[in-house]
Chains A and B, each alone.
Chain A
Amino acid sequence: MAPTVPSAAKSASPSQPSGKSEVADLKQQLRQLAGSRAPDADDQRRDVFKRVISCMTAGIDVSAAFGEMVLCSATSDVVTKKMCYLYVGAHARAHPDLALLTINFLQRDCRDQDPTIRGLALRSLCSLRVPNLVEYLVTPLTTGLKDPSAYVRMIAAVGAAKLYHISATACIDADLPASLKALMLSDPDAQVVANCLHALQEIWTLEAANSEAAAREIETLYSKPVVFYLLNKIKEFSEWAQCLVLELASKFLPSDNNEIFDIMNLLEDRLQHANGAVVLSTIKVFLHLTMSMTDVHQQVYERIKAPLLTLVGAGSPEQSYSVLCHLHLLVMRAPMLFSSDYKSFYCQYSDPSYVKKLKLEMLTAIANESNTYEIVTELCEYAGNVDVPIARESIRAVGKIALQQYDVNAIVDRLLQFLEMDKDYVTAETLVLVKDLLRKYPQWSHDCIAVVGNISSKNIQEPKGKAALIWMLGEYSQDMHDAPYVLESLVENWDEEHSPEVRLHLLTAVMKCFFKRPPETQKALGATLAAGLSDTHQDVHDRALFYYRLLQYDPAVAERVVNPPKQAVSVFADTQSSEMKDRIFDEFNSLSVVYQKPSYMFTDKEHRGPFEYSEDLTNLAVGAEAQENVISAQRYQENDNDLLLSTSDKEDNGTRASNGSSTSTYNAPSDLIGLSSQTPAETSLISTGGPAYSSQSNFSLDDLLGLGVTEAPAPAPPPALTLNSKPVLDPGTFQRKWGQLALALTQECSLSPQGAASLMNPQSLIRHMQSNHIQCIASGGQPPNYKFFFYAQKDGATAFFLVECIVNTASAKAQLKIKADDGTAAEAFSTLFQSALSKFGLS
């Protein structure tokens, strides 16, 4: 841009705004210019406007000049007009009464012969956000949508969404969504189509909360004709609009495999697009489409590997960051995938630390037998090399790899080498790790203790490291010669120890040491308890008192409390449930992946999209099922989640399909039901009947058909509650009930070992439960975790019991969640259910 007119530029310098007098001066000038027909009036006007805008940008309140600005707005100069629109847009909300003044010229401009002006005026008009001006918006918008110029149509499409946010009723009453939809499916200009799609998604998603019709409209957006229409045009869209269309396509539920392959063939080339966002969106489509086809899903992973790795390495660090977040998610699901490309995740010196951190996480996640050695070697370089936070992270990464139990031997040596580096933060981090390692691999205690014993506790400042060292001193006091004396010296400095965590550990460690080496520790124990009792920290005081009384009561009991035989920890708790991970995967290519949280955890309710789950739903199906990296059963799992979630989803967002259609869109609904039913006749009844059959009529139908009930020698249930031997509940009703009913009972019970073993075939459990009059409606999962949904009906009553049962075959434990129409009988039913479950595998 050429330099502005000197005089104006000087006085308008935003760095030194002169405030009030400036505004008064501007008002004065504007007033003079308003009626001026001088040949250079346009130029002057432009300069004054520029000064007004610059004042506005600098944060000076220029709203006082509103009237004068409007007076001067009659100009044919586009730039001046734009500045005027900008001014009006910024101040209209604060001065709704004055905004009325602008309507006139904006409306006039909406009919200008220059499409640029028409478009700009329309955009400004819609951006005023003044509710009482809504009536003036509808007409220009309706004409705008039919404008011959694509530029105007494109602005009008977004304008419709803006109008909806100002006044939903005005937008709906004017039937704008219908016009948008028509435009979306017919307009030759791609950007118009994209903006229509944006607007429709917004309007219908928000509208769906209170209208069934809108919920259905949302469904049509994700239907085959719309999705295919847009996908066929994909090459015409701008890169951003392509992301939008691909996002839409990822929600599409194909009816058969051919559709899936058609879409994938069509989109294959998008993986070569230079825009990383387009590539990620394409990947999302591929992954979501192939969810039901394990083999193809694996092939997709192979196919997307190269583009993803390129995106990590090339481009801006911000791009690497967002791609790495996604890789991290993928690697959780397919750890083998990148295990040979581990070198791509080595840190460069110049990488920003947020990228390094993610790379370290990747290296941890992909470490396996074949690459552990190289990865750990590389990580060790970072420990001494780069900046401190990254050094810490890399030590933790080494530890995590060690806990993944590949080639622990070499890693333990490395960790012990860290201890010799003699750097405060390295030692502290390493001690914490060695502690965790010892809890998992007690067999290494000998080697570790030898090294740990040489560390002087005085050199460790960080509470976590110190606590870890003290824990080891207590736990292995019999192997460490001077443990009692080290502890004693620590106790002497009790008052200088600021962290309560360390003091707590010290208490316990001295107790442990006392039981192992009483004569040497007795004195220290006395001092510790005394110090603990007079400690100001409540927890420390309480624990000291507890130990003191315990010792008074019976030292033998105390020993059992403090030094019980310990089992090695097999798996440390995973912080994230697999359910959560699935949610995040559903929201692939969004902020959820970056935050590693589903979107409901970080967005307000009104800003959520149609397919994002809400908070209350997570409680519904808390995840302990299926392990992350298994894909084969994914679809099943998804199905049963969806089955259960859809109703409450509808209540929440109102966007889900009605049951009938949602069932039919899934790939294997009949399979699902097939699992639950025992006879072919019943299968057909349920799958074709759907919600049409009431449970009663179905029951009588069964009788009519004369189906012999194949009674297994069922163990006599407690007489208090007998179950209907042939209850009928269709999946739709089940979903609704599950959504409506409150949780009556949660319980954990164990399976017989034989039962756990027979669960290799989940069908057998389903059959077993059926013999106990408990029917399965859906099941899924992968060893060792299975999830079942059961239902049963009280004999002679209509009340149903619904059960979610999560079984872990490794621990032979089952978690039950029972919901009942009749809450009072839930307890009795639970007993019945558990007794049936415990007998599984024994018969």
Chain B
Amino acid sequence: MAGAVSALFLLDIKGRVLVWRDYRGDVSALQAERFFTKLLDKEGDAEVQSPVVYDDAGVTYMFIQHNNVFLLTAARQNCNAASILLFLHRVVDVFKHYFEELEEESLRDNFVVVYELLDEMMDFGYPQYTEAKILSEFIKTDAYRMEVSQRPPMAVTNAVSWRSEGIRYKKNEVFLDVVESVNILVNSNGQIVRSDVVGALKMRTYLSGMPECKLGLNDRVLLEAQGRATKGKAIDLDDIKFHQCVRLARFENDRTISFIPPDGSFDLMTYRLSTQVKPLIWVEAQIEKHSRSRIELMVKARSQFKERSTATNVEIEVPVPSDATNPNIRTSMGSAAYAPERDAMVWKVKSFPGGKEYMCRAEFSLPSITAEEGAPEKKAPIRVKFEIPYFTVSGIQVRYLKIIEKSGYQALPWVRYITMAGEYELRLI
């Protein structure tokens, strides 16, 4: 039996119940509130911070946090943990769709809709519909309310549960963003310990009717299967995952990606490349501590990609001791500033072309007296953020995106490529 949850709570940052929905009547709000407040008090203990917590009374609490709101489920049965945690994230998405942002205030202002949504997303503790587009068929916000609709909710009578019929746009457009995040971990000896690329094809569709889409990529398996001479680069993608709209069987058979897209934005596909990637931006830092009076930083950043590409919004965060003062910073490019709230110096370069090297020097004063045997320092790594437009690490290319609808309109596909830093960490010595 797939376990059902007993209740869903929305709590504020102090663990007080904002709204809750009792699905099975076997837990009480007070009990959950008390338990959760206790839990938050114990912050810092790794054991209790996990998103799944057991209460002695036979109740399991699973929660996630979003802004200043905790979403918490209480369950007495042996639930599917992965699915419930994911469900909570989906609830966040739905709330965001309805209220722009999910936070304490937006919940308080809209509690009636919140109740309605909670009722439709889960029944008797079993997840039901969690697609915002579908839910908006059941639950009209005030903005929609005036158009009186007597027709039954579409989705439930429809085989395509993620898209309702009768969508109309004046201009039919599709935006496809190919986004690759580079994760890199460099250890204190300068060796790359780990690197991988996580890619996503993010789509925003503004299409009328029930459009049938077909997407062609320079996927090696497909190109070779078609016996086509691989002009340019064909790529191998590890472990591809698709949005539920993609016909997976079709992909298994002949590697065509065909689908009827949901309306609005969604992730069409994600993939992963575990091949070794050269760090696109390499950062070296020398830190010299002078007899507890001052500290000198020398940071070198080098872009290791082709000159025709340019990284934008480069942000390099170099950790400095928490008691550092009097920053004195010089850079050869961009601007750098001390960010005491992050215990770091943040160096920003708006535009960083390929094959260049920039420097930044900084000096901080340190207090001559320190607390004896203070808490052990958390040695944070150097972290880098950047974006490189019109460039993908994997070399993935969209060969075509065809949109066919029975009304025969012409839709415009817009494709964009971007590479950005994901978990990009270089550990200091």
Contacts and interface: CB of A to CB of B under 8 A. Distances in A.
Interface of A: 1-4, 14-15, 50, 53-54, 57, 79, 82-83, 86, 93, 114-116, 123, 129, 149-151, 154-155, 158, 161-162, 165, 189-191, 195, 198, 201-202, 205, 235-236, 238-240, 243-244, 247, 268-270, 272-277, 279-281, 306-307, 309-310, 313-314, 316-319, 321-323, 325-326, 343-344, 346, 348-350, 352-354, 356-357, 377-378, 381, 384-391, 393, 423, 425, 587, 589-595, 599, 602-604, 607-612
Sorted from nearest, which 5 A-B pairs have the closest CB atoms?
A609-B1, A277-B83, A269-B248, A354-B50, A240-B127
Contacts of A384: 379
Interface string B239-277: 111111001110110000000000000010010101000
Given A244-B2, A247-B2, A314-B198, A590 B80 contact: yes
Contacts of A317: 51
A247 B82 CA distance: 13
22 contacts: A1-B141, A14-B111, A53-B112, A57-B111, A82-B119, A195-B128, A202-B4, A272-B241, A272-B242, A280-B82, A280-B83, A316-B89, A318-B89, A325-B81, A390-B46, A391-B376, A423-B376, A591-B3, A591-B75, A599-B78, A607-B78, A609-B77
A201 B244 contact: no
A595 B54 contact: yes
Given A150-B157, A240-B83, A272-B248, A343 B194 contact: yes
Interface stretch (B148-156, B213-221, B348-356, B389-397): B148-156
A310 B156 CA distance: 32
Contact of B381 (A310, A349, A353, A609): A349
Contact of A387 (B76, B115, B378): B378
Contact of B130 (A240, A319, A423, A592): A240
B41 interface: no
Contacts of A191: 128-129, 156, 161
A460 B109 CA distance: 55
Nearest to A86: B115
Given A243-B2, A272-B248, 17 more contacts: A2-B141, A57-B18, A82-B119, A83-B115, A114-B152, A123-B123, A149-B157, A235-B247, A238-B128, A269-B249, A274-B270, A309-B239, A343-B193, A387-B378, A591-B78, A602-B54, A612-B78
Interface string B56-92: 0010100010000000000111111111011111000
B116 interface: yes
Contact of B239 (A307, A381, A595): A307
Nearest to B110: A1
A202 to B, nearest CB: 7
B379 A189 contact: no
A239 to B, nearest CB: 6
Contact of B25 (A129, A276, A352): A129
A591 B427 contact: no
Contact of A277 (B86, B119, B141): B86
Contacts of B243: 274
Nearest to A118: B152
A144 B80 CA distance: 29
A385 B119 CA distance: 46
Nearest to A266: B249
B270 A314 contact: yes
A587 B78 contact: yes
B102 interface: no
Given A158-B123, A238-B129, A354-B49, A114 B85 contact: no
Given A151-B152, A604-B58, A276 B272 contact: no
Nearest to A90: B22
Given A307-B239, A310-B239, A346 B85 contact: no
B159 interface: yes
A325 to B, nearest CB: 7
A353 B42 CA distance: 14
B400 interface: no
A592 B2 contact: no
Contacts of B365: none
Given A151-B153, A274-B244, A603-B58, A93 B82 contact: no
B290 interface: no
A321 B379 contact: no
Contacts, number: 284
A313 B195 CA distance: 11
B58 A602 contact: yes
A313 B272 contact: yes
B383 A349 contact: yes
A314 B272 contact: yes
Interface string B102-133: 00000011111101100100011011111000
A313 B199 CA distance: 12
At the interface, is chain A mostly helix, strand, loop or mixed?
helix
Contact of A281 (B80, B127, B244): B80
Given A82-B116, A314-B270, A323 B82 contact: yes
B425 A247 contact: no
Contacts of B2: 198, 201, 243-244, 247
Interface in B156-193: 156-157, 159, 161, 183, 185, 187-188, 193
B25 A93 contact: yes
Given A116-B152, A162-B124, A352-B49, A57 B19 contact: yes
A26 to B, nearest CB: 15
Nearest to B192: A343
A79 B423 contact: no
A275 B115 contact: no
Contact of A1 (B98, B238, B241, B252): B98
A604 B76 contact: yes
Given A238-B161, A318-B85, A348-B185, A14 B78 contact: no
Nearest to B268: A274
A154 B25 CA distance: 21
Nearest to B123: A158
Chain B CB count within 10 A is highest, among A114, A314, A346, for: A314
Contacts of B35: none
Nearest to A306: B239
Contact of A273 (B150, B153, B244): B244
Given A57-B19, A195-B126, A306-B238, A318 B51 contact: yes
Nearest to B19: A57
Contacts of A306: 238-239, 272
Nearest to A611: B1
A123 B122 CA distance: 12
A675 to B, nearest CB: 34
A189 B25 contact: no
A277 B60 contact: no
Nearest to B1: A609
Contacts of A161: 124
B78 A54 contact: no
A149 B137 CA distance: 14
A349 B380 contact: yes
B299 interface: no
A384 B187 CA distance: 13
Contact of B156 (A114, A154, A235): A154
Contacts of B76: 603-604, 607
B145 interface: yes
Contacts of A381: 187-188, 427
A386 B80 contact: no
B64 A318 contact: yes
Contact of B193 (A205, A322, A346, A356): A346
B298 interface: no
Given A2-B141, A318-B51, A590-B80, A201 B1 contact: yes
A353 B49 contact: yes
B405 interface: no
Contacts of B86: 275-277, 318-319
A270 B248 contact: yes
A275 B241 CA distance: 9
A587 B77 CA distance: 12
B126 A240 contact: yes
Given A191-B128, A313-B198, A608 B78 contact: yes
